[in-house]
Amino acid sequence: MSVSALTLGTAALYALISFLLFVFGANLTTFAVRVTRRGRRTTAVLPAATGDGLPRVTVQLPIYNELYVSERIIRAACALDWPANLLQIQVLDDSTDETSVLIEQLVTAAQGEGVDIVHHRRADRTGYKAGALADGMTTATGDFVAIFDADFVPPADFLRRTVPHFADSSVAFVQARWGHLNRNYSWLTRVQALAIDGHFLVEQSGRGDRGWWFNFNGTAGIWRATAIEDAGGWQAATLTEDLDLSYRAHLRGWTARYLEDLVVPAELPAQVLSFRRQQHRWARGSMECARRLLPAVWRAPVSLGTRFQATVHLLAYGIHLLLLLLLLIYPLVVVAGTRHASFSTLFGIAYLFALTSLAPGIFFIAGQRQAGRSWLREVPRIAFVTVFGSGLMLNTARAALQIFTRPDPEFERTAKFGQVASAGEWTRRRYQLGVDRIAWAELGLGAYAFATAGFAYSERNWGILLYAVVFGSGLLLMSGATFAHAIAVHRGREKRRASVEAETERWLHDAPTRDETTAG
């Protein structure tokens, strides 16, 4: 029987996708093995100069409509252990709600206590976060600039532990590890914490160990002011201004330091819709940076290993696109394998490549080991996050498509509710998001995946059966969680409106006297 062009094309595409997934998976596994062999790292605390030897530092707090967490970060910034005459705090407030009233109260109170803190407001949100940071730089007086998003809480010794690393004049920025204020708040926060641990304790740490390029994560880090200027400053050309600036700095010859044992805890998104929006922004921004910077990366006078790792890093969200393509062609692959036995060897090799689907699990286990947690207890959650993560494939595909269809998107912040203890209470606060219509498409694609699994079962193609079930489960979990959270918000709409009004009034009234330990 002759082989059709469609069959040949399907086989070639299937092999190519499998190979690319193998590359990504093998790279993750390599990082996991290296950091596991190395063990947990404790960064030597460098001796800091005292008195006149300390540099001036500016702390920037970009804030947009963060009623529930603004107080927490402002108080934490004011409590940083650094001489008052060498510390400038800028609250870069683009808010359009009562958050600005709260910030004004807090800043006025701090100024009365001798803190050099300013409440900086712009006429409009041009450039969004990147624009706010760039605007703040025009009046920043520090030799170094520390940046914290509103949902983070830096420890008091943050500056004491980061500034000494700039003794190396080539260092552009120092990045700390993200911790979690609300890891055990809900199943969603536990899943996110596990994934973020993997990124910071395996990938970022591994890149730092090898001297490969890694990025400032937008918060919980500190920059040399002259490095920001030399790299071209903050720009809003992408939705991930942090990744963009980091790579522009690397391309200019700057280096960076990653401090694994300096942890800055943050509040994880409690609502699936907020989590989805965050992932959409990160995915689009990463792909925008890849499109913008990869040509320069491959022209840079650096090692082949650095170029390769930079490419894998910037294209990491492409994994979701590959998974989507794989799922879409699965029925054709089943047909080709059934009708043409000659393809069995090719598909067998592809199955071997597909074994790297274990890589995320190995990656997450390594992250938990590095965090000093019992990875055996986390195995069920690791299996869940691996499945759940595959459900983001359509979310990422939309982000990639919108690079071309919506070239000037609005920066959509991730709503935080100041809740770190009791699950469910976020539904009674403002900043709720409506149902994302893509959840319906995920529901349909999930059904397609299970139909494909049924077809694979009928043809005894056990490999595709397994992966189709995994992908279908991830898509249905993502869409189901989206609908469940939307229903929870809808049910209490009237109660939430009354609760929001009362709590907003209380929040503003109590701000000047609220004790720091009860903030948030």
Q: What are phi and psi of 179, to 5 degrees?
A: -110, -170
Average pLDDT for residues 13-41, to the nearest whole number? 89
Q: What is the pLDDT of residue 417?
A: 81
Q: What is the pLDDT of residue 517?
A: 40
94 catalytic residue (yes or no): yes
Is residue 372 situated within a structural domain? Answer: no
Among 40-49, 100-109, 311-320, 432-441, which is the least confidently predicted range? 40-49
Nearest-angstrom CA–CA distance, 334 and 320: 21
Q: Name every residue whose Cβ is closer than 8 Å to that of residue 293 and which is 6 or more positions away in sequence.
A: 244, 247, 248, 251, 314
Contact in structure between 201 and 35 (CB atoms under 8 Å): yes
Residue 375 amino acid letter = W
From 93, 116, 197, 242, the catalytic residue: 242
Is residue 312 situated within a structural domain? Answer: no
Is residue 389 situated within a structural domain? Answer: no
Nearest-angstrom CA–CA distance, 35 and 203: 9
Nearest-angstrom CA–CA distance, 267 and 425: 14
Q: What is the pLDDT of residue 83?
A: 93
Over the stretch 113-131, which tens digit does the pLDDT of each residue have?
Answer: 999 999 999 988 999 999 9
**Whole-number average pLDDT of the chain:** 88
Contact in structure between 225 and 145 (CB atoms under 8 Å): yes
- Report how many helices (DSSP H) and strands (DSSP E) the chain contains, helices first: 19, 7
Q: How many angstroms from the chain centroid is the CA of residue 11?
A: 34
- From 202, 211, 200, select the one nearest 305 (Cα to Cα): 211
Q: Provide the domain limits for residue 181.
A: 55-279
Q: How many residues are present in the chain?
A: 520
Nearest-angstrom CA–CA distance, 74 and 419: 17
From 94, 135, 151, 436, the catalytic residue: 94
Tokens of 173: 């920025």
Is residue 502 situated within a structural domain? Answer: no
Is residue 257 situated within a structural domain? Answer: yes
Is residue 235 situated within a structural domain? Answer: yes
Over the stretch 205-248, which tens digit does the pLDDT of each residue have?
Answer: 999 888 999 999 999 999 999 999 999 999 999 999 999 999 99
Q: What is the pLDDT of residue 1?
A: 45
In DSSP notation, 448-496 reads HHHHHHHHHHHTT-HHHHHHHHHHHHHHHHHHHHHHHHHHHHHHTHHHH
pLDDT band at residue 514 using 50, 70 and 90 as cut-offs: low
Percentage of residues in the chain with pLDDT exceeding 70? 88
Is residue 115 situated within a structural domain? Answer: yes
**Domain harbouring 199, CATH code:** 3.90.550.10
Q: Three-state DSSP class for 257?
A: strand
Which residue shows structure tokens 């929040």? 507
Which 3-state string (H, E, C) describes 48-72? CCCHHHCCCEEEEEEECCCCCCHHH
Is residue 367 situated within a structural domain? Answer: no
Total domain count, the chain: 1
The alpha carbon torsion through 57, 63, 67, 73 (nearest 10 deg) reads: -20
Task: Evaluate if residue 268 carries a pLDDT over 60.
Answer: yes
